Structure 1
C-alpha cells in the first residue's frame, strides 16, 4: 500500500464512517460488498494514483464528474477526458478500471448532503495531486447528471482552517459588489463526521468560457483589490508588513526564515496601495467571457495586501507550467510588465514600486508554503530554497534601484 492508497482509505473513513475498502472489481470482496448493499466507486486512473473518484454504476454522474473536473488545458488532457467520458457513457469503464472503493451501506456523505439540501443527489469526487491543502471536492449531481453545486470537506487542521475561511469569505462576498466578477453563493455550511463542510453553487462555466486574456485578468484583479478600501501606506508603517513579519517569526528555526526576514527588512520603504487579494488566482480557479469573470476557491481571501498580488500569482503559475526554473526567469519580466499595465495604475500602483511588490509577493508565498509544509507534502514548486530565494535576491536589487531612481 503506497501513500496514495493510504490517503484514499483515510479519506473513505471521513466520507463514509461505515467504512471503505479498496479492492479489485471481482472476487470475494465484490461479493461481500453486494451482500452489504454498499456503494462502489472507481478511483481514476487507479487506486495508486487517484485523481477522481466516480460512482461505478451511475453513468450520467460519472461522465459529468469527468468533464467537470477535467483541466482540459492540453491536447493530452483533452484526449484523456474524451476517452474516459466515452468509456463511461458506453458502460465499459467498470470493465476497464480494475480498482474499486467499496463503502458500507450505513449513512455516508451522500445522505448528509441530500438531507442538508433536501433533494436526491449523486456525487463524484475530485482528489487532486498530493499537497498539504489537498481535500476532497465533491461534485453534487441530480441522479440524471445535472450539476447542483460543489461541497468541500476538511480532513485535517490545515484544511479545516481553509474550509472555515472560505465559508467566511463567501458570506462576505455575498454582500460585496463586483461589477464584472461572479462568485458562487454559499448554499450550506455545517459539519460532517466531525469535520467542517461547506456547499456552494456551481458557476455557469463551460464551453462558453475560457482562460482570461491579459485585459480580462487585470480587470478582475483590480475589482478584487477594491473589495477592501484601498489605502496607501509606507511599507514600514503598514499592518501588512507587521503581519508578514509575525508569520515569518512563527517559522521558528527553519533555515529559510532568516533570509526571508532579512529580505523583507531590506526592501525600500516606499508607499504602496493595499487592498484585497483572492490569494490563489490561477487558471484552475477562474474562467472568463468577454464581459465577465467567474472566480471560485476563495479560501485564501485576505483584505490587506499590496495591490497586484493576484496578477503576479496567476502569471507565475502560468509561467512555470513548462518548468519551474525557466518559468520563474520569464516571470521576472512578465510579472513586471503586468504590474506596469495602465489598468493596475487604477489601483494606485506606480512603476517605481513594481519590484518591491514582486519581492513582497515572493516573501509572502514562501512563508505560506513553509507554514503549510507544502514541500514535505509533495509540492515540488514549494521548494523555496531551490528557486524562490534566488529570484528574491535579484528582485531586492531591482527594487532598490527603482526606488533610488525615483527619489534620487
Structure 2
C-alpha cells in the first residue's frame, strides 16, 4: 500500500469537520442546541467541493478568509478583499454549504491548550492534490490570529507535518538574518491525526512587493544555514537518497527516467556543493518585509541537497502550470537557463546544468512517490516534462561521446 492509499484525506467539507469535531455532528443546523459548544461553519464553494470552511459568524468568517492565503497578484487580492467584506456583512448566511458541529473535545480543545486561550478555527483545504491537508487558522473569539495548525490526515500528510516541526526546530538555531521563520508551538497526536502548531507570520500585511535580490539572499541563506560540504555526487547522501526514491516509485517508466538521469550525473563524475533547501520556495510561500523575507510551509525542508535547488524551484514550478505544450519543454529549458539562474552560486556552466538535472530528478521523484499524477495536479505527470530532458541528454551523449 502506498503512502497515499492508506486512510484517505477528507474529501469534502462535512468529512473534514467530522475529523476535527468528532464528538457529535448535527446533520441539520436547525437541530443544533445553539449552546456554548455549538460550532457552525460554511463550506466554500460547496460542501462536496470545499476549498475553505469558514466560521459562520460573519466577523470571524471575514477574518479567516482574509488570512487564508496571501494573494500573489492584484486580482486575487481585490477579490479576496471584496468577498471578505461581503462575509462581514453576513453574506455567508446565503450560502448552502452550512455545517453544524459540537465543539466538545474537538480540535479546538487541543489548540486552546496550546495557545492557552479560547479559540475558533477557519479551515483552508485548497485544491485536490496528494499532499492536501487541513490548514487551520487558530483565531481568538475576537478574531485575532493566534496560530496556524497543520493536520496530518494520512501517512503522507502526517509525515509532512512531522517533518515541518523538525525543520522549524533546526531553523530556530540557525543564524538567519534575511529569513523569518515561524516558531514551533507544538507537535501533537490527537485521535488518529498529527497536529503541528506554529506561530503566525504577518503575511497579508506585506502586500505583494517582490524584491528579487532580497529573495535570492534569503534563498542562499537557507542553503547555507546548516553548513555546506563539497563532494563528488557519487559519494553523497543525496545520491543514496535518489536511489531510495527510485525504489519507492511504483511507475516503471518514471523510475527508469530518473535512473537514466542519475546515470548521466554519475558518468560526469562532477562534484557538487551540498547544503539545505526550503523545498517549495515559490511566490505563494514567501513575502518580502523590509529587509527580510517571511517564509512559511517548511514541510519539504531538507539538508544534503545541491546548493541552488531553491533558486531553480522558484523559476521552474510556475512553468508547470502552463499549457501542456509548454510543460513538455520546461525541463529542457531549465537546463539551458541554469547557468544564468545559478550565476554566482555555481560558476561552471556544466556544474550548473548538473545541479539543474539533479533538481529535476528530485522534484520528479517527489511527484511520483506522492502520487501527484492521480490528483490531476499540473505537472504531476512526470513523464510529460522529464522524458524530453533525458532524451535530450541521451542524444547529446551519442553525438559527443
TM-score by length of 2: 0.88
Contact 2:228 2:274 in 1 (8 A): yes
Tell me how far apart the structure 1 counterparts of residues 256 and 351 of structure 2 sit (CA, whole Å): 24
Q: Counterpart in 2 of 1:12?
A: 17
Q: Counterpart in 2 of 1:72?
A: 71
Q: Are 1:63 and 2:72 an aligned pair?
A: no
Once the two structures are superposed, residues 106-140 of structure 1 have per-residue CA deviations (whole angstroms, 9 ceiling, x without a partner) of 32111221122210222111011111111101011
Contact 1:116 1:188 in 2 (8 A): yes
Once the two structures are superposed, residues 93-112 of structure 1 have per-residue CA deviations (whole angstroms, 9 ceiling, x without a partner) of 212x1111221353211122
Q: Counterpart in 2 of 1:33?
A: 32
Q: Counterpart in 2 of 1:85?
A: 84
Contact 1:4 1:50 in 2 (8 A): no
Tell me how far apart the structure 1 counterparts of residues 90 and 326 of structure 2 sit (CA, whole Å): 43
Contact 2:136 2:150 in 1 (8 A): yes
- Superposed, 1:163-174 pairs within 5 Å as 163-174=161-172
Aligned pair partner of 1:183 in 159, 181, 184? 181
- Superposed, 1:338-377 pairs within 5 Å as 339-340=339-340, 344-345=343-344, 347-377=345-375
Secondary structure, counterpart of 2:149 in structure 1: strand
Task: Specify whether residues 172 and 85 from structure 1 end up closer, same or farther in structure 2 by C-alpha distance, changes over 3 A only.
Answer: same
Counting matched residue pairs gives: 390
Once the two structures are superposed, residues 212-254 of structure 1 have per-residue CA deviations (whole angstroms, 9 ceiling, x without a partner) of 3332232111111102221111122222112211210222563
Task: Specify whether residues 119 and 105 from structure 1 end up closer, same or farther in structure 2 by C-alpha distance, changes over 3 A only.
Answer: closer
Secondary structure, counterpart of 1:279 in structure 2: coil
Q: Counterpart in 1 of 2:259?
A: 261
Tell me how far apart the structure 1 counterparts of residues 393 and 181 of structure 2 sit (CA, whole Å): 34
Aligned pair partner of 2:100 in 102, 107, 127? 102
Once the two structures are superposed, residues 314-372 of structure 1 have per-residue CA deviations (whole angstroms, 9 ceiling, x without a partner) of 11123334435425646754675465357x53x45532212111111111111111111
Once the two structures are superposed, residues 276-324 of structure 1 have per-residue CA deviations (whole angstroms, 9 ceiling, x without a partner) of 0111111121111351111111111111111111111111123334435
Consecutive unaligned residues of structure 1, counting only runs of 5 or more, are 23-28
Contact 2:327 2:385 in 1 (8 A): no
Q: Are 1:285 and 2:291 an aligned pair?
A: no
Contact 2:331 2:389 in 1 (8 A): no
Task: Specify whether residues 379 and 20 from structure 1 end up closer, same or farther in structure 2 by C-alpha distance, changes over 3 A only.
Answer: farther
Tell me how far apart the structure 2 counterparts of residues 90 and 274 of structure 1 sit (CA, whole Å): 53
Mean Cα deviation higher: 102-111 or 361-370 = 102-111
Q: Are 1:203 and 2:208 an aligned pair?
A: no
Superposed displacement of residue 80, structure 1? 2.9
Q: Counterpart in 1 of 2:229?
A: 231
Query: RMSD of the alignment, in Å?
Result: 2.6
Q: Counterpart in 1 of 2:50?
A: 50
Contact 2:32 2:38 in 1 (8 A): yes
Mean Cα deviation higher: 31-40 or 182-191 = 31-40
Superposed displacement of residue 66, structure 1? 1.0
Q: Counterpart in 2 of 1:193?
A: 191
Once the two structures are superposed, residues 170-203 of structure 1 have per-residue CA deviations (whole angstroms, 9 ceiling, x without a partner) of 1111111112101000112212223111111111
Contact 1:166 1:298 in 2 (8 A): yes
Consecutive unaligned residues of structure 2, counting only runs of 5 or more, are 1-7
Aligned pair partner of 2:155 in 152, 157, 165? 157
Tell me how far apart the structure 1 counterparts of residues 63 and 100 of structure 2 sit (CA, whole Å): 21
Superposed displacement of residue 207, structure 1? 3.5
Runs of 4+ in 1 over 6 A off after TM superposition: none
- Superposed, 1:200-349 pairs within 5 Å as 200-210=198-208, 212-252=210-250, 254-267=252-265, 268-326=268-326, 329=329, 332-333=332-333, 336-337=336-337, 339-340=339-340, 344-345=343-344, 347-349=345-347
